Structure 1
């Protein structure tokens, strides 16, 4: 039986970190690792280290068949498409089954229970596709928001001094992208079987008001939190040039937080890796200059 491990979307930020953890943290032989991407040249540094790089396009099922040939375990990193990602994910699941893969690991989000929300819909459909599949085993990693997501918004918020949000009193157990990459690499390189769902987040959940206070102190600027409706948040984002579909995704993310779906402290990360997730305060101290803009 093959012992080959596949990382999809390997040229993305999460994918590259997974490759680093496979090679450097877990000491997986490079010859066992296959990295797939639409842009193979972007993975030249990993090819030079002995990883096999294969071209794959989630919109081209034939390319997935070739990319997954002879594999055992597949890490399916959710795509960045703003259309129906579940179609792409289902194509990857079908290709994994066709290749005879024994286990698929998928990066989802916490509590994908409301398919009416844009941020949830594709993850819920993909989780169902895994549950309905004939795969011998799978692991769903319900990843909480990255600390790094704050780079998208905080520099502008710091300049204006106002943080418009629809999160209400909802809290988020943020976690670093690197920690989530380590977790994904750990499952991929393991011999785990069966069907498992893990919720991965930090050891503490923060409301937007708590984040604003911590970040404001770190960068030396006061940040006032302004609670608005999800509709008004989306309209405000559009007014500042954000495309309508992306504005809807941003607003639905806040709705999910307000509903309490990102606040759970599970301990799954430590149970999986044996390590504590990086504390937010530690990450903030290391990145305050970038957040200040």
Structure 2
């Protein structure tokens, strides 16, 4: 294809993986790829490969207008602004508006599962409103509702293994963890395709697991027993605050457990394979390959 492909947040882990797949898996010419970031110097290696690197600050409309210029297909990777409620929504709507004004022909976006009103996840409305803005723009779109990353386990697991206790309010809810790189391959495939059809995909791992099942896998891999302790959302929030987390962040993290308990994160699809041609890695295989990260 001859389209110019743009990726926002290209210095982040998902953005870099997407661009690597565009270049190495799908053999897209570097000259047709635009990588945007707030810190262009961090993408010097991509620039050296021939990728066009542009500055894009989601808080600066002028920089967004310049960043999206000339892009045929643009991937907006959701921002990580969680500290200020509503800030992420504001940033992402600005990016959608800039892409529309620049004449982007196909808009792609990384969302999350079950964004509809009523989701327990505190930032779900940011994704829902961004999805609605994309649909209202009239631009053909591809929305990727990314399931929970297996990498998310690495944030808490070192402490869990050190204490032998995993505090949760997820109950018997399940999560279909998937590897970030698997999702990136699927997203890159969607970006590199020439489809003009509007479609929404939910990207997941191949199986959904209860907290106790994940704990059993980690114990098998590390030899360290884990006791899963179920708490109420309120008690879990207080425990996180007592451990030093700011209240706002604690509430966001607990809202993930509430969504898990509600069944919002346990969907299993074959979208990764449908898009990329490769199967999602099973959780045990992923954790075994990244065993060192479990202990921190």
Count of residues in Structure 1 that have an aligned counterpart in Structure 2: 292
TM-score normalised by length of structure 1: 0.97
Select 2:264's aligned residue among 225, 237, 261.
Answer: 261
Moved more, 112-121 or 251-260: 112-121
Task: Measure how far apart 1:290 and its partner are.
Answer: 2.1
Match for residue 202 of structure 2? Answer: 199
Q: How does 1:79-228 map to 2 (within 5 A)?
A: 79-82=79-82, 83=84, 84=86, 85-113=88-116, 114=118, 117-135=121-139, 137-228=140-231
Match for residue 28 of structure 1? Answer: 28
Q: Is the 8 A contact 2:120 2:258 kept in 1?
A: no
Task: Measure how far apart 1:229 and its partner are.
Answer: 1.2
Q: Is the 8 A contact 1:119 1:253 kept in 2?
A: no
Task: Measure how far apart 1:115 and its partner are.
Answer: 5.2
C-alpha separation in 2, matches of 1:142 and 1:267: 13
C-alpha root-mean-square deviation of aligned residues, in Å?
1.3
Task: Measure how far apart 1:149 and its partner are.
Answer: 0.6
TM-score normalised by length of structure 2: 0.96
Match for residue 251 of structure 1? Answer: 254
C-alpha separation in 2, matches of 1:274 and 1:8: 24
- Structure 1, unpaired ranges of 5+: none
Match for residue 6 of structure 1? Answer: 6
- Structure 2, unpaired ranges of 5+: none
Match for residue 71 of structure 2? Answer: 71
Q: Is the 8 A contact 2:119 2:259 kept in 1?
A: no
Q: How does 1:269-288 map to 2 (within 5 A)?
A: 269-288=272-291
Provide the secondary structure at the position in 2 that maps to 1:261.
coil
C-alpha separation in 1, matches of 2:206 and 2:158: 25
Match for residue 235 of structure 1? Answer: 238
Q: Is the 8 A contact 1:37 1:55 kept in 2?
A: yes
C-alpha separation in 2, matches of 1:119 and 1:234: 17
1:27-79 CA-to-partner distances (Å, cap 9, x unmatched) read 00000000000000110110000000000100001100000001101110000
Provide the secondary structure at the position in 2 that maps to 1:118.
coil
